[in-house]
Structures are given as structure tokens and as C-alpha cells.
């Protein structure tokens, strides 16, 4: 449950965080505005002093007797300099001149006089008009008189139909009202503190706090709070997949297998450093395996979990364990290599050819990957050379002048050519991870930036090879679907199949944004002309090109090949590319009825 909880926590946290920013910013802006202007008091005249009731005023009793409508409430008041009686009934309120006894009709001229009497600013009244209730008079029901004034504050005076001054509004109040709306999240009436959005934000914030507490406790284990000397030790037997014993060691109870092996010099492949997010440190438990955790279920297939596979970073030594690790005796080995050449294939894809100090053996098969050791470094964008025709794409990246990496990292790169065809050289296809394009001073990926800064003659170290992404040899039709840097292992597999004399039909559908982003196009075209059983189709999502299909690669493959395939169950599928493309392609194959055991994929575990 923890990975899903992390994902939900992240997105709800983003939503609540945005609202917190709005609350903070709106509250800050409202605090800066002049309170007197917001309340409309800047140009509002003070209340007039009470005047003595005129002796010549008529008695109200005869006026009531002469009226055809009964009055439930009678009050006295003044309209500027005129004494009046207000006779309120259930339907309306009538205004009667206390001196003459005549009924007063509040028209535009009188409304303008009343507004001018309540105003002491430099502006002049423009006009008075009867308007319906609006956001500026939301606290009052029914129609109101509106009088605008020609001052810099855009003052508007609102009066009731009985002549009472209701509100003085101005540009400062209107600005305040916008931020008030954002602050209380009432985007319609702007006065309801208990509207559904506020309630939802409160519930979301409460859930965010509870889930954060949950994630805090799940990120620690009880053993981390107990000194090692009090925990005792457990035996860990390490075997190769062929059953041969690699090492026997003892480690403190409560440590993870990943940490225990690293302390003994056996570094399992990992991109996340044991953070339970990449899934590369897979091991298989011999005998009775502990229950799979949520991280195991999120990153390993059900069949592998059933076979006893677990993530070493999530497998705790609470008892003696026997495990199998891929890589055998070379697991802890570190290899030296020299950069022979670096070639830009597209603006953000480069081919890096390494010459290992020791000649690679058969374990360097197509589909496997190595982990390049990225040392601590400091570099700047001037150290990355871009060909002339790629510089316009790089100009759109706002990289910082300099960036650093403070610790040793390991980054995984698949072999993009069979080592038997490259005289023992390791060919890598590396994509530059530049983050959000157009973002200001966005630091690039630490691993890809390091590799992009390499030059011929540079020395580096790597571990491996690793991985179980491999060709299932046989006569079954093979369909490769990839995108981005997923070209690397698929290209190695296809070249190995074709050069070894495979006669079954082989199809390759590769997706890129534009033609300039697609590597090895000429090579694929040449292979399609040379081998009758190989077909190649480039798919571009953001560009129309006569030689390429248009759209998303999995949709193009479905429409162009799979939808009308006579026997799709007789095909083997090999997938590699960005996570969204990989997920969409796997879902598409499932809809077409392709069994999971016929689909091999590599998502680089990122």
C-alpha cells in the first residue's frame, strides 16, 4: 500500500500546497491594502448630526388613515433635508413627506442627491441607475440604486429603494474582493466560509497530515532505533542462479539485504540507492520467502513474486536467509574502461563507445545493461559540446551555469549493439535528462550530464552486465516496439537476430517526437533492404513526414500491424521506452489478448 499512498499523498499534497500558497499570498496582499479604502470610508461623509423633529410635521395618524395599505412598522428619518415617515408593510416600504404628507418616489435624481450627500471626495456624480443585486451588493436583497463617481478610486455608491446608503465601493475594495474570493474559496457568492471547496481542502489537509504520519513511520524500521550491538546477527547465504555458492556472511538483524551485501563489497545494481523505487536490486529467496511488501508488488511481476523474488532493499534480515543474486561471481566486480568515441545522434541522444580493459564475455548479451559509476563532480554547460545543427535545440534549455554531484552514483545504460559485432566494445545510447524544457536554471540529470561531458580518452568504471531482458530464440514471429533511448536494447537484439541468420519475421516500430530525435534511422532502413524478413517503421508524434507514420507508436503499431494480424498469439513482443509509452503499449497488448508470458519489456526501472 505504501507506493500508492506515496503517490496519492504527493498529488493531494500538490493540490493542498497550491491552495496554501493562494491562502498565504491572498492574505499577504489583503494585509497590504488600506483598510479605510477597503471599507469605503476614504470618501464617505460622516453621519449627519441628529436634527430636531420639525414642529410643523403632520401627525402620522391621519396619514395612516388616508393610506389604503396597512403599515406594520412606522419609523421617522431624513432624506437630506426632508423629514420623512417610513411606512413598512409586508410588500413594500413607502416614504411619506412629514411636512406635506405627500408620498415620495425615489427616482434617479433623488438617488443621485442622496449619494452626493454621502460623498466627500473630489469626483462628480456621473449618473444614477437602478440595477439588480450584484457581487458588490451581495449582502443586500433586491434592486438597488447605483451612482458612479468620476474619481481615481472609481467610487460607486449603492442605495436602497428607501434611500439608505448601503455601500461605498472602489477599486481597492474590488482588488481586495478578488483576493478574498481566493482566500475563502467561494468563487460564486464570495461570502460562504463553509462552501464545499473549503470543506474539501480541510478534509484533504487532514488526510494529508494522517498519511504523512503513516509514511513517516513506514520509512523507518524498529531496528534503526536499536543499537547494532543489541540486535544480534543473522546468517546470509548468497548463491548464483546456477546454484553455486558465492558467499556466506553474517549481518545485523534488521538490516536490509541490500545494505548487508554492500557492507561486504557486493553492490547490487540500483539507481535509487536502496530507496525502493527503481526495482533493480531484485533477489530470489530460497525456501520460504517472506510476505511481499507493497514495494515488491509495485515493482515486480506477480509471477516473479510467486517464484520468491523480492527487492533486496526491502528484504529485512529478521531470520537466516538463502538468496540467489543475478550476476554471479562478478557481482561485486568493478571494471575499467576508456571512452573510445562520443557521437551525437540527435540533440539529446548520444552514442558512447567504451573500450573495456578486459575483453567482454558471453554474459554481455543483447538486452543486458551496465551500471556506469558516476563520481562526485562539478561541471558546467560549457563542457557539453553540441554539433552546429543541434545548437538551436540546446539554446532552448535554460541550464544553470554550473552544477555539482556530491556523491558516487550508479546509472544504468543498456548495450545498444552486440559486443560480438563491435570487437568487444560496449556501445551505449544515452539520453540527456534536461528536465522541463524552458524552465529557468533547471539542473540536468546527474548521470546523463556526466556522460554527455565525456570525451574520447576519458577513463571510467562500471559494474555489470545485469538484467534479464533477453531474446527468446526460436521461430516465433518477433515484434519490437520502442521509443526514446529504448532504441538501445532493441537495436542490439535485432542486429543479433539478423546477423545470426534468424529467418522468422521481425518487425520494429519505433516512436520519436520528430525526425531529428530518431537515431539510427539510416541503419534501420539499410537492414530492412538487406534482410527480407525485417520490416522497420518510424512513427513521429509531433511531425508529419512522408517516410514515417504519424501519432503514438503503440497506436500506429496496432493500426498498421496488430489489429489485422492473422495470428497475434504466435508472436513474441519486446518493448522498451519511456514509462508512459511502455504502460500504454502493455495495456494495448492486453486488450488484444496477448498473454503476459509473450511480452518481454525493459523500462530502465525509472
Q: Tell me the pLDDT tens digit for each residue of 430-448.
A: 988 876 555 565 678 888 8
pLDDT of residue 253 exceeding 90: no
Q: Determine, yes or no, domain membership for 472.
A: no
Q: Which of 117-121, 301-305, 529-533 has the lowest mean pLDDT?
A: 301-305
Q: Determine, yes or no, domain membership for 240.
A: yes
Q: Is pLDDT larger for residue 17 or for residue 330?
A: 17
Q: Which of 388-392, 495-499, 525-529 has the lowest mean pLDDT?
A: 388-392
Q: Does residue 597 share a domain with residue 566?
A: yes
pLDDT of residue 435: 63
Q: Determine, yes or no, domain membership for 45.
A: no
Q: Does residue 68 share a domain with residue 94?
A: yes
Domain with 201, as residue range(s), is 2-38+177-218
Q: Does residue 242 share a domain with residue 182?
A: no
Q: Determine, yes or no, domain membership for 378.
A: yes
C-alpha cell, 165: 446608503
- The DSSP element (H or E) to which 147 belongs, if any, is strand 144-149
Mean pLDDT, rounded, for 12-37: 91
pLDDT of residue 586: 92
Q: Where are the beta strands (DSSP E) in 150-230?
A: 156-159, 165-169
pLDDT of residue 333: 79
Number of Cα atoms under 13 Å in the Cβ half of residue 247: 17
Q: Final residue of a domain: which of 466, 492, 522?
A: 466
Q: Does residue 249 share a domain with residue 305?
A: yes
Q: Does residue 341 share a domain with residue 258?
A: no
What tens digit of pLDDT does each residue of 128-141 get?
999 999 999 998 98
Give Cβ neighbours of residue 445 (< 8 Å, ≥ 6 apart). Answer: 432, 433, 434, 435
Q: Where are the beta strands (DSSP E) in 269-318?
A: 282-285, 309-311
pLDDT of residue 27: 92
pLDDT of residue 557 exceeding 90: yes
Got the DSSP string for 384-429? S---GGGHHHHHT-B--SEEEE-S-EEEEEEB-S-GGGTTT-EEEE
Burial class (CB in 10 A: 0-12, 13-18, 19+), 22: middle
Got the DSSP string for 424-456? T-EEEEEE----STT-BTPPPPHHHHHHHT--T
pLDDT of residue 219: 65
Give Cβ neighbours of residue 518 (< 8 Å, ≥ 6 apart). Answer: 346, 510, 512, 538, 540
pLDDT of residue 180: 93
Q: Please count the structural domains in the chain.
A: 5
Grade residue 458 by pLDDT with cuts at 50, 70 and 90. Answer: very high
Q: Does residue 152 share a domain with residue 87?
A: yes
Q: Does residue 348 share a domain with residue 458?
A: yes
Q: Determine, yes or no, domain membership for 559.
A: yes
Closest CA to 246 of 237, 255, 254: 237
Q: Does residue 459 share a domain with residue 366?
A: yes
Q: Does residue 234 share a domain with residue 310?
A: yes
C-alpha cell, 29: 496582499
Grade residue 238 by pLDDT with cuts at 50, 70 and 90. Answer: confident
pLDDT of residue 153: 93
pLDDT of residue 1 exceeding 60: no
| Cα 115 to Cα 95: distance, rounded to the nearest angstrom | 17
Q: Is pLDDT larger for residue 393 or for residue 553?
A: 553
Q: Final residue of a domain: which of 301, 330, 359?
A: 330
pLDDT of residue 437: 53
Q: Does residue 323 share a domain with residue 305?
A: yes
Global pTM? 0.63
Q: Does residue 296 share a domain with residue 417?
A: no
At 309, which CATH number? 3.10.20.30
> Of all residues in the chain, what percent carry a pLDDT higher than 90?
38
pLDDT of residue 548: 80
Length of the chain: 606
Q: Determine, yes or no, domain membership for 571.
A: yes
- Determine the Cα angle at 69 with ends 63 and 73, to 5°: 75
- The DSSP element (H or E) to which 590 belongs, if any, is helix 579-591
Q: Determine, yes or no, domain membership for 21.
A: yes
What tens digit of pLDDT does each residue of 212-233 get?
887 777 666 656 666 767 777 8
What tens digit of pLDDT does each residue of 255-312 get?
888 888 877 777 777 777 666 777 778 888 888 888 888 788 877 878 888 888 888 8
At 456, which CATH number? 2.40.30.10
Q: Which of 3-7, 10-14, 238-242, 515-519 has the lowest mean pLDDT?
A: 3-7
Grade residue 606 by pLDDT with cuts at 50, 70 and 90. Answer: very low
pLDDT of residue 329: 59
Mean pLDDT, rounded, for 375-397: 83
Q: Does residue 190 share a domain with residue 210?
A: yes
Q: Final residue of a domain: which of 304, 330, 356?
A: 330
Q: Which residue has the cell 478578488?
A: 178
Q: Determine, yes or no, domain membership for 368.
A: yes
Closest CA to 519 of 343, 354, 341, 340: 343
At 520, which CATH number? 3.40.50.80
Q: Is pLDDT larger for residue 579 or for residue 546?
A: 579
What tens digit of pLDDT does each residue of 331-359 get?
667 899 999 999 999 888 999 999 999 99
Closest CA to 203 of 5, 19, 1, 25: 19
Q: Kindly report whether the peptide bond that precedes residue 48 is cis, defined as omega within 30 degrees of 0.
A: no
pLDDT of residue 48: 75
pLDDT of residue 383: 83
Give Cβ neighbours of residue 170 (< 8 Å, ≥ 6 apart). Answer: 37, 40, 42, 43, 153, 154, 155, 156
pLDDT of residue 235: 86
Sheet with 156-159, edge to edge strand ranges: 125-131, 144-149, 156-159, 165-169
What tens digit of pLDDT does each residue of 155-203 get?
999 999 988 899 999 999 999 999 999 999 998 888 888 888 888 888 9
Q: Where are the beta strands (DSSP E) in 256-302?
A: 282-285
What is the rounded end-to-end Cα distance, in angstroms, of the chain? 19
Give Cβ neighbours of residue 414 (< 8 Å, ≥ 6 apart). Answer: 367, 368, 369, 428, 429, 467, 469, 485, 488, 489, 492, 576, 602, 604
What tens digit of pLDDT does each residue of 83-99 get?
888 888 877 888 888 88
The total of other beta-carbon atoms located within 10 Å of residue 19's CB is 19
pLDDT of residue 223: 62
pLDDT of residue 226: 67
Q: Is pLDDT larger for residue 298 or for residue 112?
A: 112
Average pLDDT, the chain: 86
Amino acid at each position: 500500500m505504501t507506493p500508492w499512498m506515496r503517490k496519492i499523498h504527493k498529488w493531494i499534497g500538490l493540490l493542498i500546497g497550491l491552495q496554501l500558497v493562494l491562502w498565504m499570498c491572498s492574505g499577504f496582499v489583503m494585509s497590504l491594502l488600506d483598510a479605510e479604502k477597503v471599507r469605503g470610508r476614504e470618501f464617505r461623509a460622516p453621519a449627519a448630526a441628529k436634527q430636531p423633529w420639525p414642529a410643523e410635521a403632520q401627525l402620522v395618524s391621519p396619514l395612516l388613515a388616508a393610506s389604503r395599505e396597512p403599515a406594520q412598522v412606522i419609523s421617522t428619518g431624513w432624506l437630506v433635508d426632508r423629514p420623512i415617515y417610513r411606512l413598512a408593510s409586508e410588500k413594500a416600504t413607502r416614504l411619506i413627506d412629514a411636512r406635506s404628507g405627500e408620498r415620495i418616489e425615489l427616482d434617479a435624481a433623488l438617488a443621485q442627491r442622496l449619494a452626493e450627500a454621502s460623498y466627500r471626495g473630489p469626483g462628480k456624480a456621473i449618473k444614477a441607475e437602478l440595477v439588480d443585486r450584484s457581487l458588490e451588493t451581495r449582502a443586500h436583497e433586491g434592486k438597488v440604486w447605483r451612482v458612479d463617481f468620476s474619481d481615481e478610486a472609481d467610487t460607486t455608491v449603492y442605495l436602497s429603494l428607501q434611500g439608505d446608503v448601503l455601500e461605498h465601493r472602489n477599486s481597492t475594495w474590488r482588488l481586495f474582493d478578488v483576493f478574498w474570493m481566493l482566500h475563502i474559496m467561494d468563487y460564486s457568492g464570495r461570502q460562504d466560509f463553509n462552501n464545499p471547496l473549503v470543506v474539501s481542502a480541510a478534509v484533504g489537509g487532514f488526510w494529508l497530515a494522517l498519511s504523512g504520519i503513516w509514511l513517516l513511520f513506514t520509512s523507518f524500521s524498529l531496528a534503526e532505533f536499536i543499537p547494532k550491538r543489541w540486535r544480534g546477527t543473522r546468517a546470509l547465504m548468497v548463491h548464483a542462479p546456477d546454484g553455486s555458492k558465492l558467499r556466506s556472511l553474517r549481518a545485523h538483524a534488521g538490516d536490509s539485504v541490500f545494505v548487508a551485501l554492500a557492507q561486504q563489497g557486493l553492490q547490487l545494481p540500483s539507481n535509487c540507492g536502496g530507496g525502493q523505487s527503481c526495482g533493480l536490486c531484485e533477489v530470489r529467496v530460497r525456501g520460504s520467502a517472506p510476505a511481499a511488501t507493497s514495494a515488491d508488488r509495485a515493482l515486480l511481476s506477480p509471477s516473479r513474486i510467486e517464484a520468491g523474488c523480492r527487492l533486496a532493499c526491502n528484504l529485512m534480515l529478521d531470520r537466516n536467509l538463502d538468496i540467489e543474486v543475478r550476476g554471479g561471481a562478478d557481482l561485486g566486480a568493478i571494471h575499467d574502461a576508456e571512452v573510445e568515441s562520443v557521437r551525437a545522434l540527435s540533440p539529446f541522444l548520444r552514442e558512447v563507445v567504451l573500450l573495456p580493459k578486459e575483453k567482454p564475455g558471453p554474459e554481455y548479451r543483447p538486452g543486458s545493461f551496465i551500471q556506469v559509476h558516476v563520481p562526485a563532480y562539478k561541471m558546467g554547460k560549457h563542457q557539453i559540446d553540441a554539433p552546429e545543427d543541434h545548437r538551436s535545440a540546446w539554446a532552448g534549455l535554460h541550464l544553470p551555469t554550473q552544477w555539482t554531484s556530491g556523491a558516487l552514483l550508479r546509472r544504468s545504460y543498456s548495450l545498444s549493439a552486440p559486443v560480438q559485432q563491435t570487437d568487444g566494445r560496449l556501445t551505449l545510447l544515452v539520453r540527456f535528462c534536461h528536465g522541463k524544457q524552458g524552465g529557468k536554471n533547471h539542473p540536468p540529470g546527474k548521470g546523463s550530464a556526466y556522460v554527455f561531458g565525456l570525451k574520447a580518452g576519458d577513463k571510467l568504471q562500471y559494474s555489470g552486465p545485469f538484467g534479464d531482458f533477453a531474446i527468446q530464440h526460436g521461430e516465433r514471429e518477433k515484434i519490437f516496439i520502442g521509443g526514446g533511448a529504448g532504441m538501445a536494447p532493441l537495436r542490439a537484439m535485432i542486429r543479433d537476430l539478423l546477423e545470426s541468420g534468424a529467418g522468422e519475421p521481425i518487425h520494429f516500430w519505433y516512436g520519436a517526437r520528430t525526425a531529428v530525435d530518431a537515431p539510427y534511422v539510416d541503419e534501420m532502413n539499410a537492414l530492412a533492404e538487406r534482410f527480407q524478413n525485417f520490416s522497420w517503421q518510424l512513427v513521429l508524434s509531433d511531425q508529419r513526414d512522408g517516410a514515417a507514420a504519424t501519432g503514438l507508436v503503440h497506436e500506429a503499431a496496432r493500426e498498421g500491424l496488430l489489429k489485422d494480424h492473422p495470428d497475434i498469439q504466435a508472436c513474441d513482443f519486446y518493448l522498451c521506452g519511456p514509462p508512459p509509452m511502455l504502460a500504454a503499449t502493455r495495456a494495448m497488448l492486453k486488450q488484444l489478448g496477448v498473454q503476459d508470458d509473450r511480452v518481454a519489456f525493459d523500462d530502465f526501472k525509472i
